[in-house]
Every structure is written in C-alpha cells, then in structure tokens.
Amino acid sequence: MSRQPNRLPSGGRIDRAMPLGFRFDGRSYTGYAGDTLASALLANDVHLVGRSFKYHRPRGILGLGAEEPNALIQLARGNRSEPNLRATQVELFDGLDADSQNRWPCLKYDVGAVNSALHRLFPAGFYYKTFMWPASLWMTYEEVIRNAAGLGKAPEGPDPDRYEHMHAHPDVLIVGAGPAGLAAALAAGRTGARVILADEQAEFGGSLLSDDDVFINGKSGRDWVAEVVAELASMPAVTLLPRTCVHGYFDHNYLLAAERVTDHIGAVVPNTPRQRLWKIRARQVVLATGTLERPLVFRDNDRPGVMLSTAARGYAVRYGVAAGRRPLVVTGHDDGYRTALAYAARGIQLAGIVDLRPDPSGALVDAAREKGIDILAGHSVAGTHGGHRVEGVDVAEMNADGTGLAKITRRIDCDLVAMCGGFNPTVHLFSQSRGKLRWDADMNAFVPAKVHDTTHAPQRSVGGCAGVMSVAQSIKDGIKEGLEAARATGSTARQPAAPAVEEPGIGAHRTIWVLPSDKPVGHKGKHFVDFQNDVTAADLNLAAREGYRSIEHVKRYTTTGMGTDQGKTSNVNALAIVAATLGTDIPAVGTTTFRPPYTPTTIGAYGGRNIGALFDPVRTTAVDSWHRANGAQFEHVGQWMRPWYYPKAGETMRQAVDRECLAARNAVGILDASTLGKIDVRGKDAAEFLNRVYSNAWMKLGIGKCRYGLMLNDAGFVMDDGVTTRLADDHFHMTTTTGGAAGVLGHLEEHLQTEWPDLEVYLTSVTEQWSVASICGAKCRDLLAALCDDIDLSNEAFPFMAMKEGTVAGIPARVYRISFTGELSFEINVPRRYGMALWEVLMAAGEKHGITPYGTEAMHVLRAERGFIIVGQETDGSVTPIDLGMDWIVSKQKVDFIGKRGLFRPDLMLPDRKQLVGLLTEDPSEVLPEGGQIVEDVKPAPPMTMLGHVTSSYYSVNCGRSIAMALVKGGHARKGDTLSVPLAGKTVKVTVTDPVFFDLEGSRRDG
C-alpha cells in the first residue's frame, strides 16, 4: 500500500473508506472507489503515463474524460486485454492492472525518443514523402513503422467475454446527463413519456460534479443532481443508462450506444454480459452532450503536467486530487479563474494566472485578486521547461494584437499548467446526423445551426453542445426542449418551473490560436495541436504552404485529428491555424466530417451474440446425425452442411472418393440430396409461369412427368438449373441448386409481384419439408423393389424423368426417376420426419448389394464423368446456354422467356466466346488444378494470352484417368486441338474434347 501524496485531505466524490489496490506498469498503487485510473495515478503523483506517437515524447494526462489524447493504456492481460483505453475513463477497481503504451523498453527510458531529436526527418506528410519510392520497399518500411507506432496490442486468442444487443424504441432519448440533460429528462419524464437518459460516465451530473461554485435552489449542484436522479429513478417509464456512450447517430433517429455493464467491476459477473450494445430508434432526441475544452497552442505545451483547466479542476473537486502543488493557470477565458479559485480554496498556492486578455475584469477576476493570486494580464506563455514533468514556464507581455512579445521572457516555476483555450460544443452526434454547423464568432466555436431532417429525425440540442455556457440557461432550455420533445410524441403536460441557479458570471474572452513566443513557430520547440498524432502548428503551416487547401486533405496529409481521439481537443485549433496560414477565415475552411463512433467501441459489442455458431445459421438435414456417426467429412454449401466424403479408417480422400464412385455405378450409391432447393409452384397459371422463367417449353409436360430446366436472367446468362415435376394441372414441384434456392425464389417472386401480377401463381419454399435419399447404381432397382410394393419399377411402367407416388418401407413417398450421375437412379422423397427412418432402412436393406453412402465430392466426379454442369462451377454469371453447348434446351418456338432477348445481343453471339469443353491431360494421372489458365502459345513467363480456365477437374476412377471441364475461347471449334496449362514449375499439355467422358451413349440411366 503506497500513500497517495497528492490526495487532498477531504472532499471529492470518492469513498475514502474503500481503498483499492492497482498496478500501473508493474508498480503497485492505491486509490479509492470512485476514482478513475487517471485520478488515482495523479493522486500517486504519476504524471508521466505515455509516450507520444511519432516523437516518443513523454506525455501526461491532459483531460478528464473522453477527450483524453495522451493517457492511452492497455488494460488487463491475456485474452481480456484491451488497448487504447483512456485512463481518464477507466473506473478504478481492486486489482486493476494497466500498462502504458507506445514505449520501449520502458516509459522512462524510451529508445524511440531519438525520433524527437531527429524531428527534421518527420515533417508533415512524412509517410508520403519518404516511402513513396521505391515502391518495392514499402512492405519493409511498413513493418518498421507498425512496430514503432504501437498503439497497444490486440489479444491473440478469442475474447472470452459475452456481449448482448438491446433494442429500444423510446419516445425521447436524452444523450448526456449534465444539467441540461437532467432537466430535459425531468421535464419529459414527468409527462409519462418513455424516456431513456444515457451518459457515458459512471455518475450523472456532468460538469456539476466538477464544479463547486454552482448552487441550484440554494443547494450545491451535486445535491440538485442527486434529487433529480432520485426522482427520475422513481419513474417507471424512464430508463437510466449510466456508463453508456451514445456514439453513433444514424438516419431517422437511429442511435447506437455501448453500455459498460461489468467493466468497472473488473471481474466476470455470472449471467451478465460485459457490455451491451443498445440499438435505439427514438421518436425524439435531445442532445445534451456538453462541451470539450480547447487546449492552448504554445511552445512545448505537451509536457506532463500541462493539462486542460477543467480537467485540473475536476481532479481537485470531483476526485479530491491536487494535480499540482504549484499550479499556473493560462487562460483567455474567465473559466480558467474557476480552476485557480478551486485550487486556492483547497489551500494550494497558485504560481499565478497568465491571462491573454490585457484588461481582465469581472467577479471571478476580482475573487482571484482578493485571494492574492498573481494575475499576469496580456501575457503569453513563450515556452515550458521540464522533462518528465513540467517545471516552469517562460512568460512575457504580448504586443497589443497578440502576434508577438512586447517584453523579454521571464521564468515562473510551477508543476501544473492548467490551460483554457475556450470551449467547443460537443457537436459530434449532431454532425453525425448531418446537421449543419455555423461558426459563432462570439464563442469562437462551431455551434449547431440546422437540424438535417426535422421530419424523420426530430432532435434538439440543449446546454453546452448548443453553445449555451451558463448552467441556469442550460437547465431552462433543457426543461423547455425536454417537454417539447415529449409533447411532440403526444403528451400535453405543462412546463415545470426552472430552479433558481447561482453561478459565477462569465465575461468576454480572448482567443489567440498560437501563443506568441520569442522564437518563431517550428524553432527550438514544438507547438502541439494534435497531441495524440504529434501534429504541430509548424506541420499545419507547412501543409498549407505546400498547397493543401481542403481541410480534408490537410487532415490526411498531416494526420491531424486521425487518432483514436478523432481530434476532440485538436480539430478546431487546427482549422484556425490552417485558416490563418491561408489568410482566410475559419468558416471558409470548414470542418472535417464527423463520423461514428464518438469514442472507440469494442468490436465485441457490435458482434454481440452473433459470433461463433450463431454468426450464421447452419442448416442440417434429417440424416445429419447418421452422417456424423459414420465419419463423414463435411463441406459448407450455402448455409448447409453436406457430407463431402465418408473416409474409412486409413483411407485418403482420394481413396474414399474412388471407392464411393465405383460403388455408385457398379453396386448402389446413396446420397443425401435433401439440401436441394424445393419450391412448390401452384395456381392456374403455374405452367405459363414456368414457361416464362425457364428457357425450354413447359405447357405440355404431362402430370407425373419431370423436366430439366435452365433458368436465365434477362441478360441471357445462366443463373440456376434443376428438375421440375408436374404434380397436377396447376401444381408443380420445382428443384433448384442447393446454394441458389433463396435467390431463385426471390427472382421468381420479383417477377410475379412486379412484372406479372396478373398471373395466378403461388410460390412456397418446401426445401425443409422433404428428406431426399438418392440411390443409384446397377443394384438400386433391386434394392428399391424389396422395400416398395406399390410402384412398378420397370422401365416401361416407370420411365426415366417420371415421378410415382407410393410407399417405401411403409413410408409415404414421392419417387423420382431422375439422375445426376447418369446411372439408373431413384430419388426418394419422404416427409422430413421420416428422413432418418428411410435412410436407415435403405442402408440395412442395401447391405447385401454393397450400398455405399457417397458425398458431394463423389457426386461432382460422377456428374462430370457424364458432362453435367454445376451452376456456379461451370458458370460464373457470364455464361449462356449456347456457351455450355446446351442449345437443345433453348426453345426456338417460344416468343419470349426470361433471357431470350438477351441471348440475341451481339456480344453473346460471337463465335470466340468462352465455351464449355472437356480437357484430357497427356499424362492420365495428372489432375489439373481448378482455375488453371489455358493458353495456346506458352511463353517462358507471363503474360501469355489466356484462352480460358479449368472449371472442374477430378481423377475419375470409372474412366481410369483424370478428367476436366473448362471454358475456352472458341472451344467448340477447337475439339482435337492441343493446348497448354502453365503451372508453377511445369506446363501440362491437354487435348480439347467433348465434355462427356463416360458412358458416351448414355445407356446406363435405364439400368
């Protein structure tokens, strides 16, 4: 247990009865419940918390919350480790273990700091200038840069935590629970409207938690917060979400918020997610996101101990921590005096107040004078001293317009510089929702001007984020807008009275974007603008001098505003500096685009439960457990898991597939074909509909007869194929490819609904209704005959391309005589609940015939032996039936079908289109790789003129050699030619053939 040297003897919203031990960079410290990691580190006098990104300069804590650019830490270890957390937002818990980032080998002695000495080598646009040439070295450069620029480390294993998604549809969403947001929530909540109040911090209250000089209805601001929160908590329609950062504002009032549910506990809580992602569709939105303080840009303004004024105040008031024992305030704004007075009230002697204004006046200034604080009016900070901690500043009086120094500098010793450069309304969410900003010359900041879409995304900004700096006005506006938001959703309640607020009056301020020094900008020191990305005023000047005009280009060239903090403290300063260099005004330069998320958000929160097995549905057939029990290897086909092959002990894949292929022809093969898409087509116009969506003729198909069809799109390209059977005059059973089923149903529905609403046709997906065992091979008729006594299986009674209804092993079945292998084949369809029973009966009865289950790999080989295409393998969306040599299936008689006109486009009728052919390798054991490129003239090295590619390639045990199918330019006219397939290290010679390799007469299909 270490003591906490900077902990004030009293005060702060911390629980002194609850000390917490934690580690930072391996050292042990103590803080209190209610601390953030940042406040606990400062209490322990740890100011040096990181190294800067480019120059590896020592950096300290700058801010109090989300705006923090420097104090990025890596929290926890193992697979729970999380990088780039802002120490200012990490709530302290017992046993917290954090490390600083971006330093090697350790924070105090960092090797990369040599970059700082070499700063002339790192100008704006450094990457672009240095690494453009030679391009071949980029990979080498990149590796070195990535190592040097380490913003934390990602854990290597999967995230062990759980994340949930929540959906909410409130009447009013209020973002931010400072004075304005609390007032809005109270006014809206009292109407009975459904309200969500979300705040990124653990505790509601916003600025009131850090200010001790605001009194509401005669009580301290913090007491008023407690009363309001208690009343809100008692309202059943109000949902309070602390620790919830609304970080994205999308179209039509859809907002995303990440709730940190257990992060602050530092342990896994049973049955509780680590974080929740809230998906909120709000009827009305009230933004009360407050302000972010601007740093001042002066020479070497990045030393640890140089801090935002409100942050310094917040550490003292909210956390009871003296961020310094001899603080110096630098300000052009009355608000800086509040920080000085807060420290003075805690018995800490100020080193002085450097005020940019030549004649500061007002109640706060008078109060500071009364306290005997030295006020240096009209002065500038010319530079700072110190190494790992600021030790002093050089100050001097400025000339009248603040562009230079009027006197020589003198040094003031201090250990904390609290700087106030004014305030920027936090317009991030407003801007994400595409609201227009306007430059407020009085405030020297961008404020909301016009809501993007008042109809679909009604919203209001209140308080600081609307440019309102007084608590009284913020509460007033909060009440008014909160009530009006509720009224817009139907409430008729009356407006409650606004409380009486006492607060310090804030007078006029002075903004100087770059404080003048005794050296020009860029000499003997650095004026940091973007602390996280190490962008200086000199870098911005250089970019402007080099011709960059668009602020979006300046941003990318200098990387200003591109860190994990997205320039929360730097963007407006950068704009102002660029505007000054360009000799234009700030509104003319404009802002860069605000994009979600407002603060970095864990990817796990977005993933929620949609990870692992729940990422995408897995579809399995009724026979799945049998396949698994019998050693099947699976492959994904669309969302389906299909058996790929069934290896026996000791078998290679090739041996298993060869065995399955032999059995499927010579004995009995059995395939689980349940995954094929099945669509029930019904209605009086069903035949006419099929006639329009397939390329062949359908009107005269007899009942109980099957027909193969190719489905084209209107461009003329093949999109799917399958066998459709007529069950009745007005009723068809269509099958599609396994992967194409949903697309086909969509294509058919689209045409029915939008082109042919006059057709009476109803489509129903019945894929899951049927379990299909496809049996084939020389003995399959014998097998089926033994199990089926109500269907005559002879060729005469049950010819090829016919369907019979009957029973198989007592199970009601539709049996189709269709074949994808070219063998005699029966596809037995039974209701899914009988699928396993049928399979087991077939396996048992087939044993004596040598029944062999085969998977998709054998199926592919068997169909390729017969030259049958697979849509998506032989076709790629640019292949016509003519290219496939399937002219026979394209009706010449039909006036129209989908794709007919497309086939007559001139490019589709060219003779040298890529056409489907077979390929036989010179060496029969050589199996070409699928995708292999085919050339006529082999050259020693690419490029060569490519004629096409191999689409399917297998070793066929039935053919006793390898076989392949390919798309080759003008292939139909090249049969007999010898072409080449150049591969790594060799070239394979191939002969172009017909794409049929086995049973050329097609005699086996009848058994």
**Residues of the shown chain interacting with another protein in the complex, contacts defined by CB under 8 A:** 250-254, 281, 434, 452-453, 455-456, 714-715, 746, 749-750, 753-755, 757, 895-896, 900-902, 904-906
Tell me the helix, strand and coil percentages in the chain, rounded to 5.
25, 30, 45
- Residue 342 or 890: the one with the smaller Cβ distance to another protein is 890
Structure tokens at 936: 């006529």
- Residue 21 or 902: the one with the smaller Cβ distance to another protein is 902
Residue 358 DSSP SS3: coil
Q: What region does 586 belong to: left with phi over 0, alpha with psi -120 to 50, or beta?
A: alpha
Q: How far is the CB of 757 from another protein (least distance, A)?
A: 6
Bridge-based pairing of strands 718-728 and 706-712 is: antiparallel
All residues at 6 or more sequence positions from 164 whose CB lies less than 8 Å from its CB, including other chains? 273, 275, 276, 277, 608, 609
- Residue 278 or 298: the one with the smaller Cβ distance to another protein is 278
Contact 70, 60 (CB under 8 A): yes
Residue type, 795: N
Q: How far is the CB of 713 from another protein (least distance, A)?
A: 9
State how far the alpha carbon of 550 is from the alpha carbons of 126, 438, 574, 588, 774, in Å: 19, 18, 12, 10, 66
Q: How far is the CB of 804 from another protein (least distance, A)?
A: 33
Q: Phi and psi of 806, rounded to 5°?
A: -175, -155
- Residue 755 or 792: the one with the smaller Cβ distance to another protein is 755
- Residue 271 or 455: the one with the smaller Cβ distance to another protein is 455
- Residue 742 or 946: the one with the smaller Cβ distance to another protein is 742
Q: How far is the CB of 602 from another protein (least distance, A)?
A: 20
Bridge-based pairing of strands 416-420 and 668-672 is: unpaired
The half-sphere exposure of 298 on its side-chain side, counting CA atoms within 13 A, is 36
Structure tokens at 730: 């007005």
- Residue 274 or 751: the one with the smaller Cβ distance to another protein is 751
- Residue 72 or 246: the one with the smaller Cβ distance to another protein is 246
- Residue 47 or 900: the one with the smaller Cβ distance to another protein is 900
Q: How far is the CB of 568 from another protein (least distance, A)?
A: 25
- Residue 138 or 756: the one with the smaller Cβ distance to another protein is 756
- Residue 704 or 902: the one with the smaller Cβ distance to another protein is 902
- Residue 456 or 986: the one with the smaller Cβ distance to another protein is 456
- Residue 10 or 753: the one with the smaller Cβ distance to another protein is 753
Helices (H), 793-855: 835-846
What would the 3-class secondary structure string for 385-443 be?
EECCCEEEEEEEEECCCCCCECCCCEEEECCEEEEECCEEECCHHHHHCCCEEEEECCC
Q: How far is the CB of 906 from another protein (least distance, A)?
A: 6
Torsion on CA atoms 316, 321, 326, 331, rounded to nearest 10 = -30
Measured in Å, how far apart are the chain's first and last C-alpha atoms?
88
Q: How far is the CB of 442 from another protein (least distance, A)?
A: 30
Q: How far is the CB of 434 from another protein (least distance, A)?
A: 8
Classify residue 867 as exposed, middle or buried by CB count within 10 Å of its CB (0-12, 13-18, 19+). Answer: buried
Q: How far is the CB of 253 from another protein (least distance, A)?
A: 8
Closest CA to 394 of 377, 380, 376, 378: 380
- Residue 367 or 715: the one with the smaller Cβ distance to another protein is 715
Q: How far apart are CA 852 and CA 104, in angstroms?
A: 63
Q: How far is the CB of 285 from another protein (least distance, A)?
A: 13
Q: How far apart are CA 269 and CA 997, in angstroms?
A: 64
Q: How far is the CB of 643 from another protein (least distance, A)?
A: 30
- Residue 755 or 1006: the one with the smaller Cβ distance to another protein is 755
Helices 686-693 + 741-750 axis angle, to 10: 110
Residue 808 DSSP SS3: strand
DSSP assigned state of 343: H
Q: How far is the CB of 169 from another protein (least distance, A)?
A: 10
Q: How far apart are CA 432 and CA 626, in angstroms?
A: 53
The tokens 């009224």 sit on which residue? 487
Q: How far is the CB of 973 from another protein (least distance, A)?
A: 25
Q: How far is the CB of 969 from another protein (least distance, A)?
A: 22
Q: How far apart are CA 867 and CA 873, in angstroms?
A: 12
Q: How far is the CB of 766 from another protein (least distance, A)?
A: 15
Q: How far is the CB of 334 from another protein (least distance, A)?
A: 40
Q: How far apart are CA 48 and CA 210, in angstroms?
A: 23
Q: How far apart are CA 924 and CA 2, in angstroms?
A: 79
Contact 775, 842 (CB under 8 A): yes
- Residue 136 or 455: the one with the smaller Cβ distance to another protein is 455
- Residue 12 or 881: the one with the smaller Cβ distance to another protein is 881
Q: How far is the CB of 712 from another protein (least distance, A)?
A: 12
Q: Phi and psi of 311, rounded to 5°?
A: -70, -45
741-780 b/e with 16+ CB inside 10 Å = b? bebbbebbeebbeeeeeeeebebeeebeebbbbbbbbbbb
Bridge-based pairing of strands 803-808 and 811-816 is: antiparallel
The tokens 């101990």 sit on which residue? 305
Q: How far is the CB of 994 from another protein (least distance, A)?
A: 32
Strands (E), 511-637: 528-530, 535-536, 633-637
- Residue 434 or 863: the one with the smaller Cβ distance to another protein is 434
